[in-house]
Amino acid sequence: MMQLKDRKIVLGICGGIAAYKCPELCRLLLKQGADVHVTMTASACRLVSRETLEALTGHPIATDVFTAPGQIGHIELCAHADLLVIAPASANTIAKLAAGMADNMLTAAALASPCRLVLAPAMNSRMYRHPATQDNLALLQKRGALIIPPAEGDLACGESGVGRMREPHEIVAYICALLNRTGLPFAENTLLPRPEAPRGLPEQKLLPKASGAGLRVVITAGPTEEPIDPVRVITNRSSGKMGFALAAAARERGAEVTLIAGPVNQPTPPGVRRINVKTAQNMLDTVKEQLGHADIVIGCAAVSDYRLAYVYDQKLSKEQQGDHLTLTLIKNEDIISMVGHSSPRPFTVGFAAETTDCEQHAKEKLERKNLDLIVLNDVSQSGIGFNSDDNAVRVFDRDGEAAAFGKAPKIVIAAQLADLIFEMYKKQHAKA
């Protein structure tokens, strides 16, 4: 489904190194059906090719108010736009916007713009954490701008910290969620986990409500692989996207996250400790090792229920096996049920991917596995669940349905789930 059909998005590009990601950002916006118009600063033109962006979007790009196409380009540019997105937003342009300056096409168009402003800041972490930048962002937020918080990780300057522009697919998910009102992937108007305040500088104002700060979260994700012989395995259809998105969301909320991942092709979210495993037994052993260090365990992996009773050490051949091959499988221990029955027991969250009698099966699993929450995925619905970028879930606790999150990108669902899990964990511990 094209989520941005008939939408006009103006993309403002500043002179940050992350400008090199803008052609990909444009491509993903166009793929969602958006009409994309670009404006870029003179510095941005030195970091990314204007011609590439003109070719991609099919529209000429103006950087200067006097050479803009049309009568009064800076007034026209955003006049009928749904959103003005500035990505990357440089410290310099953020400061100019806060001051109400209009000295180039981007800042003049932003000042004349009647539509919502979204900023995706990207810069060195000291520039980002500087009180000048934080004050400017606070002022822009107060005026209604939305900020896509930069991520933590390696920065172009060779340092590491907060300040990386979000990946193009995350920005597009944010825009889709905003325009389709499905809930935002990043908590609105909050920024990333609290970085250490640099010596001599005051506490940062815009740092996030770190709802997961001080919590140790263990998440399993992806499929497991049960070997049959040296070249064949039994596995499940799981891309790992949901578990990885949850790990990123929990980390963004300040939690210490350990991600136990089956064989998947997903990048490790910044700041997350990842342990790779293959079989269900490897995953079980690793979860057991981590149990003593977990406040919350989330079982998102699609673990193989069975493994081979006998693993062949040579490749099975059709010639030797003939027309029929019988494999004997034995049951694996249920990992999340082991966690739910452990002592001391962490707050335990399971996932149930069901195709029939979904609610009943999910509630039974909640009881049987002694979980605090179960997240139900109806995988019979097309376009959500396994291998899809989208999901829709219902969440049950012992009192019944605790929440339902409608179809949205997995990073949006992950953000909603992380907020819910931390809130429920805190409620449970406040009672205790």
Ligand X SMILES: Cc1cc2nc3c(=O)[nH]c(=O)nc-3n(C[C@H](O)[C@H](O)[C@H](O)COP(=O)(O)O)c2cc1C
Q: What share of the chain is helix, strand, coil (3-state, %, to 5)?
A: 35, 25, 40
**Cα 55 from Cα 43, distance rounded (Å):** 20
For residue 90, the minimal CB distance to ligand X (Å) is 3
| Tokens 């998947």 sit on residue | 264
Contact between residue 253 and residue 215 where contact means Cβ atoms under 8 Å apart: no
Stretch that binds ligand X, among 36-44, 56-64, 266-274, 376-384 (CB under 6 A): 36-44
DSSP H helix total and E strand total for the chain: 15, 19
Stretch that binds ligand X, among 120-128, 145-153, 267-275, 342-350 (CB under 6 A): 120-128
Spell out where 186-316 has E strands.
216-221, 225-227, 233-235, 256-261, 273-276, 296-299, 306-308
Residue closer to ligand X, measured from CB, 157 or 291: 157
Q: Which of 83, 86, 110, 122 binds ligand X (CB under 6 A)?
A: 122
Q: Which of 123, 140, 219, 261 binds ligand X (CB under 6 A)?
A: 123
For residue 107, the minimal CB distance to ligand X (Å) is 8
* Count of C-beta atoms within a 10 Å radius of residue 92: 17
**Cα 73 from Cα 116, distance rounded (Å):** 18
For residue 431, the minimal CB distance to ligand X (Å) is 46
Residue closer to ligand X, measured from CB, 91 or 379: 91
Residue closer to ligand X, measured from CB, 88 or 299: 88
**Range 152-159 contact pairs with CB under 8 angstroms and sequence separation of 24 or more:** 152/192, 152/193, 152/195, 152/251, 152/270, 152/271, 153/270, 153/271, 155/124, 155/125, 156/17, 156/18, 157/124, 159/124, 159/125
**Binding of residue 223 to ligand X (CB under 6 A):** no
Write phi, then psi, for 220 (nearest 5 degrees).
-100, 145
Q: Which of 30, 76, 92, 345 binds ligand X (CB under 6 A)?
A: 92
Peptide bond into 88 cis (omega under 30): yes
Residue closer to ligand X, measured from CB, 87 or 338: 87
Residue closer to ligand X, measured from CB, 127 or 206: 127
Q: Which of 16, 193, 299, 340 binds ligand X (CB under 6 A)?
A: 16
How, if at all, do strands 146-147 and 116-121 pair? parallel
- Whether 157 is a known active-site residue: answer yes
Stretch that binds ligand X, among 3-11, 91-99, 312-320, 412-420 (CB under 6 A): 91-99
For residue 39, the minimal CB distance to ligand X (Å) is 11
Residue 311 exposure: Cα atoms within 13 Å on the Cβ side:
14
Residue closer to ligand X, measured from CB, 20 or 428: 20
Number of residues forming the site for ligand X (CB under 6 A) = 16
**Binding of residue 290 to ligand X (CB under 6 A):** no
**Binding of residue 93 to ligand X (CB under 6 A):** yes
For residue 47, the minimal CB distance to ligand X (Å) is 6
Catalytic choice (14, 157, 176, 300)? 157
**Cα 185 from Cα 418, distance rounded (Å):** 11
For residue 29, the minimal CB distance to ligand X (Å) is 20
Q: Which of 57, 63, 90, 238 binds ligand X (CB under 6 A)?
A: 90
**Binding of residue 14 to ligand X (CB under 6 A):** yes
Specify burial of residue 1 (Cβ count, 10 A radius: 0-12, 13-18, 19+): exposed
**Binding of residue 160 to ligand X (CB under 6 A):** no
Residue closer to ligand X, measured from CB, 130 or 288: 130
- Per-residue three-class SS string for 354-389: ECCCHHHHHHHHHHHCCCCEEEEEECCCCCCCCCCC
**Binding of residue 12 to ligand X (CB under 6 A):** no
**Binding of residue 41 to ligand X (CB under 6 A):** yes
**Binding of residue 15 to ligand X (CB under 6 A):** yes
Chain length of the chain: 432
For residue 44, the minimal CB distance to ligand X (Å) is 5
**Binding of residue 245 to ligand X (CB under 6 A):** no
For residue 184, the minimal CB distance to ligand X (Å) is 23
Q: Which of 91, 242, 249, 412 binds ligand X (CB under 6 A)?
A: 91
Q: Which of 44, 162, 175, 384 binds ligand X (CB under 6 A)?
A: 44
Q: Which of residues 59-88 bind ligand X (CB under 6 A)?
A: 88
Structure tokens at 208: 């996030």
Contact between residue 276 and residue 261 where contact means Cβ atoms under 8 Å apart: yes
DSSP tag of 195: P
Q: What angle do CA 309, 314, 315 make, to 5 degrees?
A: 95
DSSP tag of 17: G
What is the contact surface with ligand X in residues (CB under 6 A)?
14-18, 41, 43-44, 88, 90-93, 122-123, 127
Catalytic positions: 157
